[in-house]
Every structure is written in C-alpha cells, then in structure tokens.
Structure 1
C-alpha cells in the first residue's frame, strides 16, 4: 500500500513536468491565425528582434546572389557567416520559450545551412554549388513563412 501512495504524487509530478515541457519547449505560445497559419504571440520588442533576424537572412541571400554573379566566393563566405549559428547567441530565453518547436527547428537549421554554405564556398570556391545550397536553404524560409506569422501582444 505504501508503494502506491508514493507513486501517485510522482506520476502527477511527471505529468506536470511533461505538460510544462510541452508548453515551453514544443508548443510555444501560438494561436490559430485567420490566414490558416499559426500565429506566434510575442511582445513587440521580441517580434522586432525576430523580424530583424529574418531581414538579415534576406539581406544575406541578396548579398550571396550578387557575390555569386560576380564570381566572388569570399563575398559568399562573408554574407553567409553574417547569419550563421553565431547569430543565435544572446537570444533571450523569454523569446525562445514562445517559439514552437517547428519554428525553432527551421531557424536552427537555417543558421546551420548558412554556416555550411560559407564553409563549402571557402573550401570549394564553386559559386554554382553555393547557389544550389542557397536554393535548398530557401525552402526553410518558404516553409516557415507558409506555416507561421508573428503577432504582437501586450505584456
């Protein structure tokens, strides 16, 4: 009988922890959006930070295209590194907990792909290969924008 009485609180604690992990690591703070996407809900300051990062991706894509057109592999390397994984450092924990797992996975993968693009451009010097990598990387951007939007909330 004593064994059963300690299992119930342990099971309840496990359920609470699992629920919190789901909320903060997997689901994030999202709501259905009127356009069929998931709306990620965050304060304006955090929204601005995420949108600034996305504009950085877009600026890097444009710089990579210009560099590839000019045969400038160092330009490709520099532009891709600007938005690589090191850019993720310093993201506030409050922001990370709001993001659903799918959004986080796309973001981490996009940063990683930019790093790989930079490394390959540096080592191979093949602008055509860089363009092929960029085309594949852009599927992350298209997928993310098709799935999510970011809505401001008051906090």
Structure 2
C-alpha cells in the first residue's frame, strides 16, 4: 500500500508541475528564455485557444480526481470519471476526430480539429483511447484490490498528454 501511495503522490506532483508550467509562471518564462522552445507552434484563433487550454486544464483536473478515487480504492468512480471526461465518448474527444461533427459543444470541436495538425490530433486520439482502456481496467478494481494494472494504464494516459505537450504549443 505504501508503494501505491508513493506512486499516487508522484503522479500528483507531476500533474501539479504540469499545471504550474501551463500557467506560464515567471520561473517557467525565465527557463524558456534559457532554452529554445522547439515545439511546433499551432496557430489558432483566440477563442479557440481559450477553449483548448480550458479542455487541457479540465483533463488535468480529471486525472487528479481519478487519482483521488483510486487513492480511496474506488475503481468504479475512477472509471466513470475517465470515460465521461477523458475517454472516447467524452465531449472533448470530438476535437481530435478528423471528421468531427457538431454536438454537445456546438461547432467548436469541428473548428478545433481543422486547425490541429494531423499528428497532434492523432496524439489526442491516443490519449482519449487510452483513457477508455484505463476506464475498463479501473472498473475491475474493487475495494482493497490491486491498483497496479489500473495505474499502469493511467500512466499511459499521462504519457500521451506529455507526448503532445512536448511536441506542440499553442500560439
């Protein structure tokens, strides 16, 4: 149990660091001046950029809530959060689909999809698909059960997020 708690703490610290970096605090701005940012700039209109950043912060919040549910041994709650807020059926996944249609979020996902490079959309789809896989694994966790398989799948979700953030930035 101690190893699992340590793993959850490490995941939480990584998410906090990502949130800190996303907000553009002075330390991160200073570091970016010291190191050339080689990520691909994705030029999107202002309202779309705001929506994309909001979606990503929502994804971070969902992962934090998933970790909290797993910390309580509640695999079913973690699975529900993952599938409804991150998975393939989540509203946010529409922006990563090349043929996005109007839906719950209006035309914004379709417009967002049209501005994203194909590779960026593919990374997004990987994250959403992996979140669905995680949800399936987390649903198997019963109180006091082994969290390791679910945590391994959740790690792949975060890796997909990191791969996209390492390759792209919004302009």
State the 1:124 CA deviation.
5.1
1:127 aligns with 2:135: no
Structure scoring higher RCO (CA < 8 A, sep ≥ 6) equals 1
1:93 aligns with 2:110: yes
Alignment of 1:63-78 (within 5 A): 63-78=65-80
Gaps of 5+ in 1: 1-33
SS of the residue 2:43 aligns to: strand
State the 1:92 CA deviation.
3.3
- Return the TM-score normalized by structure 1: 0.69
Query: 1: distance between equivalents of 2:38 and 2:169?
Result: 10
State the 1:127 CA deviation.
2.3
Across the two proteins, how many residue pairs are aligned to each other?
Answer: 118
Match in the other structure for 1:21:
none
Q: Higher Cα Rg: structure 1 or 2?
A: 1
1:80 aligns with 2:82: yes
Query: 1: distance between equivalents of 2:122 and 2:72?
Result: 33
SS of the residue 1:94 aligns to: helix
Q: Which residue of 104, 121, 125 corresponds with 1:104?
A: 121
Instruction: State the superposition RMSD in angstroms.
Output: 1.7
CA contact 2:48–2:112 (8 Å) conserved in 1? yes
Q: Which residue of 158, 162, 166 corresponds with 1:138?
A: 158
Q: Which residue of 37, 58, 61 corresponds with 1:35?
A: 37
CA contact 2:74–2:141 (8 Å) conserved in 1? no
Match in the other structure for 1:114:
131
Alignment of 1:3-14 (within 5 A): none
Higher percent of residues as helix: 1
- Return the TM-score normalized by structure 2: 0.63
User: Which stretch has the larger CA shift, 80-89 or 43-52?
Assistant: 80-89
